[in-house]
Structure 1
């Protein structure tokens, strides 16, 4: 049991019951947004080669078609964050499901690269919106004891989506590989989970914390009773209500949040987390893994099959992360993740620079890339999304997360756009040495700046952080 410093009440334990099963079902439906996020970002990896030939894409057009989804995601994250604060997390997910369906269909039917780029930009809006809305929705519905593992299930579904895209790409390529239009089949598959999400959200509850922020106290209590035992629901609603009233007296809203020093610090931390997660280079592998393996020395057909190991070990990594995330402090796990990924960057760089051209060199690079992907997806990947969903005050949570995810997606876009050019100009070895240098800075940033959130309610962390840094600012 935990005693909150501002309510002076003790939260009773969240004992197992029917509400636990209900929360698991809600998590499965909500994380279909994560599945779509993963599939739509990963599918381009295998679809790009036939798409390039079918639509006549040069290096610039390839980079634009890949990265424009990410620019759309950056805008979608910010706009969806604002909409989620105003209209609610559930309403946002309805809207996003519709955008997923329409834009995915448009991508699959695109008659030209310009139309495809526009459709992928709109699809990116949905991907960015889902990246903000789903983790917040889960964090606000979860008991603090299970928040880490439940929110991280969204990252699991992102990885499942990416892995599924690799598997589906490989199957379609090996069956219909001689047809240039196979990339259209690869893209359109994503319509199926989008339709399930659209209908599934009809039975999902609204976020109890968002309802309290709208002064809909009784509705919030009814939702909590569906996902907690009764005693815990009554105690928790009181805790949420107290901190929400305190926030109501503050000037926290929209862009005004930058005027509050302790909130500015949180935003700096959130933006830094998003920046360094993406500058680890994970999406250079998720988007261009097949091309990297080809340049390392594998044939096209072997590379597209070998790339599925990146998806498989992403899945293994997130499963290990799910097992550990409620057992190890967030900071310790995050620092360990950056140390491991930085080490694998160095190994890939040395392998590409020092080993003679051979099959052995290609497989060494592949093994070290797999090690990097496993380490990344077991630590940094889920932890950044979890921390973003945990650290911000309720009143501005979606908008603040949206702003930080805007930085994350813009960083992602830079990697997606410049990585092919960087490899072409500098080679694989020097490209990964750049990631190594950025990894060292990330380790320093995490050690110096990132707070611990494990074992605390969202309200308790907010009060603790505010009190600590408000005092420092006054000094």
Structure 2
């Protein structure tokens, strides 16, 4: 009888902590869902914008890439803001920017207003892309960090899948109505409101609180999402490292230290690697690629759902693999798979006549590409970016890396329709194959292994490697 009384509260307490951590992680990843929806919805909305707004290949690329341009600056700015004001407050502010940007794009009467609104929306997308994995990494225990952080990737591709489904449903039912694309865009207001409300139930990052010397609040936050014993142990480690470092916020001057500059360059390199695979050429222009391969516009909208389904399934597999496979090996395998898939797309486009066979072959190859990208390359990239930067400059370092990532994304999004028109789909994808090989060489030479270590242990490892 006494044994059951002792175990009952303990089990209830453990369950309460796990529920609190799970709830916090899913609320935070609504930022990733919005990232995915707002980047994926343009895929199906663009064909309907062409007549309403009178788009050319140049303005089509401009509208698509304007969000990416804004995202670059959103990522960079959010890094500094989160280091200063905290992860939680900045994420709540981003929810408001998501809402305003979505309303602006949905109501835009001209190309100029659309571009400005997409830039505003991009500020929120970029901010979330930098902040969400960072926040998750700082909330997660070391043994679950890989799985928790990659929930962000799962929510990104889920957001893209929901966008593809919404596009297909709206396009097939109301495709003949003028301004149908506006309804595709406005759906994103719902998760933006949910994020703003939900963030009230999320604790502040214990590591950010420790970096500000707010140690009592650090322990309180840890006790909400850890058992009492685990909270005390982690608190001692986090406080010990925080007290070693200056109480002042990190700045660009910190990267003058050779080991920190090396970490920053690795972070920027990882960001470039993720984008030069060509993933967002498919995520932004998949409907046009499939339509050109032999599907009609409405059929391409429906077929494009397969890209979203495979992305979600691959992200789930990626989460499972990260608990069992070394990060670096997983990333290199993904890069081999993406480059091979794009090579085959280029060959099929050259050798198979336009029609249903070509369309289905390219669809099969794009989902194969996305299986490697969303199952290996993207989750490992976002996870490692959240792991490699030391506490003092974590927000700033991730922000700078994400700025580089979004600027690379901008270059891909803006240039892809122009390259397609100038040199054709095959040669365009062959360019990405070459870039993928260069990315593989970079990862093999410079990227470290971080699996199985606490964030504090990762910092000590990188410090030692950079000072040799």
TM range (shorter): over 0.9
Shift of 1:359: 2.1
Q: What is the correspondence of 1:184-333 to structure 2 with a 5 Å cutoff?
A: 184-248=182-246, 253-333=250-330
Conserved in 2, the CA contact under 8 Å of 1:17 and 1:229? no
Conserved in 2, the CA contact under 8 Å of 1:51 and 1:180? no
Aligned to 1:338: 335
Match of 1:408 among 399, 405, 409: 405
Q: What is the correspondence of 1:5-404 to structure 2 with a 5 Å cutoff?
A: 16-248=14-246, 253-404=250-401
Conserved in 2, the CA contact under 8 Å of 1:296 and 1:362? yes
Match of 1:442 among 422, 425, 439: 439
State how far apart, in whole Å, the 1-side matches of 2:392 and 2:215 are: 15
Conserved in 1, the CA contact under 8 Å of 2:83 and 2:249? no
Conserved in 2, the CA contact under 8 Å of 1:135 and 1:385? yes
1:368-402 deviation digits (Å, cap 9, x = unpaired) = 11100111000011111110001001111011000
Runs of 4+ in 1 over 6 A off after TM superposition: none
Shift of 1:51: 1.1
State how far apart, in whole Å, the 1-side matches of 2:296 and 2:49 are: 18
Shift of 1:337: 0.5
State how far apart, in whole Å, the 2-side matches of 1:417 and 1:317 are: 27
Shift of 1:236: 0.7
Shift of 1:16: 5.0
Conserved in 2, the CA contact under 8 Å of 1:317 and 1:374? yes
What secondary structure does 2:143 align onto? coil
Shift of 1:315: 0.7
Structure 1's unaligned 5+ residue stretches are 1-14
Shift of 1:118: 0.5
1:177-230 deviation digits (Å, cap 9, x = unpaired) = 101211110111000010010011112110000000010000010110111111
Number of residues paired by the alignment?
456
Conserved in 1, the CA contact under 8 Å of 2:260 and 2:466? no
State how far apart, in whole Å, the 2-side matches of 1:356 and 1:178 are: 30
- TM-score normalised over the length of structure 1: 0.94
Q: Which has the larger share of helix? A: 2
Aligned to 2:3: none
Structure 2's unaligned 5+ residue stretches are 1-12
Shift of 1:356: 3.0
